[in-house]
């Protein structure tokens, strides 16, 4: 087993590049996601991204707002009760970002197909017979589109069935609640499509709220849905899902959720946001100071924190983590 714990700056420098197919992993639009990883991609100026978002989150909203996404495959493009995702909405309406729409079930099935190395995935009835089948962002003038979900003949029944292409992103950045230095990881809350995503991406980077001792994994091996064997790098970034929530750890920062989304309505607002909340820190300590002590106290006091109780004794301290980061293999 290899120590894969590296810094956020190193992880983004090594595992992301302009023009790549990037997938970010989390739980639907306002739950867990590797948002701090996305902030670092903006800090390092990544652009022309081909994004696969099972759901939009504030990460894809930010990347779209700064104009870094040329194309997105997406199941749900909003922010649920927080409203439309203004950055992504603006990018699609102006034609800057090409949207290839899928449903929320279709994207994980395409991840699973990629993970299994299948040539395609039968759609069942998903997206069939409606404009999600007939309208393709990649070939928008062709209606009905023939290449997005082509029909083949079921060899057993002779019936026509529609199929999906499979998804194999270059890199997936996946948020997990806790990971050890080898990449074994436990997620609290819905896993959403993170199991499939961790298997279909060519490289996998984990962003963890906590680094824990491997003894934790040995106590709860059934809960380790992402084993280190499929992981390339681990990054420790506390409150890395902020302003969204990480079940068991911190709540949504409702005020910042609205303010961030409001800023993305215009390029000027976005620029101001980036200056204030993306470029303004270099270290984890500075990032936490930016969020503020009072806010952190408020969001870490929530009705889900009991979910972390069984794991607390294995959590590594910031000093231990710094030392381990220096010894990555």
Binding of another protein by 76 (CB under 8 A): yes
| Integer Cα distance of 326 and 55 in angstroms | 34
Nearer to another protein, 98 or 328 (CB): 98
| Integer Cα distance of 307 and 249 in angstroms | 8
Binding of another protein by 297 (CB under 8 A): no
- Considering only 24, 194, 295, 316, the residue that binds another protein (CB under 8 A) is 194
3-state secondary structure of 288: helix
Segment contacting another protein (CB under 8 A): 17-25, 176-184, 193-201, 214-222?
193-201
First to last CA, the chain: 10
Binding of another protein by 186 (CB under 8 A): no
Nearest CA to 214 out of 305, 311, 306, 307 is that of 311
Site string for another protein, 10-29 (x = CB under 8 A): -----------------xxx
Query: CA 83: distance to chain centroid?
Result: 19
Tokens, residue 147: 């290449």
Binding of another protein by 206 (CB under 8 A): no
The number of residues that bind another protein (CB under 8 A) is 67
| Integer Cα distance of 88 and 79 in angstroms | 10
Binding of another protein by 267 (CB under 8 A): no
- Which residues, including other chains, have CB under 8 Å from residue 296's CB and lie 6 or more apart? 239, 250, 288
Binding of another protein by 81 (CB under 8 A): yes
CB atoms within 10 A of CB 214: 14
Task: Mark 110-144 as b/e (b = at least 16 C-beta within 10 Å).
Answer: bbbbbbeeeeebebeebbeeeebbebbbeeeeeee
Segment contacting another protein (CB under 8 A): 84-92, 231-239, 259-267, 289-297?
84-92
Binding of another protein by 148 (CB under 8 A): no
Segment contacting another protein (CB under 8 A): 9-17, 134-142, 171-179, 263-271?
134-142
Site string for another protein, 224-263 (x = CB under 8 A): ---------------------x-x---xx-x--x------
Binding of another protein by 159 (CB under 8 A): yes
Phi-psi region of 67 (alpha: psi -120 to 50; beta: other; left: phi over 0): left
- Considering only 17, 20, 71, 78, the residue that binds another protein (CB under 8 A) is 78
Residues in touch with another protein (CB under 8 A): 27-32, 54-55, 74-82, 84-85, 88-89, 92-95, 99, 101, 103-109, 112, 124-132, 135, 140-141, 143, 159, 188-196, 245, 247, 251-252, 254, 257, 302-304
């Amino acid at each position: 087993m290899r120590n894969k714990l590296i810094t956020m700056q190193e992880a983004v420098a090594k595992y992301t590049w302009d023009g790549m197919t990037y997938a970010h992993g989390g739980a639907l639009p306002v739950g867990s996601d590797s948002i701090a990883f996305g902030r670092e991609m903006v800090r390092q100026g990544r652009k022309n991204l081909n994004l696969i978002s099972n759901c939009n989150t504030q990460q894809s909203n930010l990347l779209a707002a700064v104009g870094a996404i040329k194309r997105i495959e997406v199941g749900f493009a909003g922010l649920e009760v927080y409203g439309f995702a203004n950055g992504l909405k603006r990018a699609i309406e102006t034609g800057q970002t090409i949207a290839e729409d899928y449903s929320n079930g279709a994207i994980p099935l395409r991840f699973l197909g990629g993970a299994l190395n299948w040539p395609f995935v039968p759609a069942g009835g998903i997206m069939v017979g409606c404009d999600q089948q007939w309208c393709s962002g990649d070939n928008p003038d062709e209606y009905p589109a023939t290449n997005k979900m082509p029909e083949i003949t079921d060899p057993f029944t002779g019936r026509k069935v529609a199929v999906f292409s499979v998804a194999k992103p270059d890199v997936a950045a996946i948020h997990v609640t806790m990971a050890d230095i080898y990449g074994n990881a436990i997620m609290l809350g819905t896993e959403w499509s993170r199991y499939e995503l961790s298997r279909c991406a060519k490289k996998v980077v984990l962003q963890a709220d906590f680094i824990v001792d491997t003894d934790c994994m040995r106590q709860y091996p059934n809960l380790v849905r992402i084993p280190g064997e499929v992981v390339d790098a681990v990054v420790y970034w506390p409150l890395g899902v902020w302003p969204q929530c990480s079940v068991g750890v911190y709540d949504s920062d409702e005020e910042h959720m609205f303010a961030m989304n409001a800023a993305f309505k215009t390029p000027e607002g976005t620029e101001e946001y980036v200056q204030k909340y993306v470029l303004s820190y270099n270290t984890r300590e500075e990032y936490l100071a930016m969020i503020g002590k009072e806010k952190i106290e408020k969001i870490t006091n929530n009705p889900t924190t009991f979910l972390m109780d069984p794991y607390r004794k294995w959590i590594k301290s910031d000093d231990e983590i710094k030392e381990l980061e220096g010894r990555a293999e």
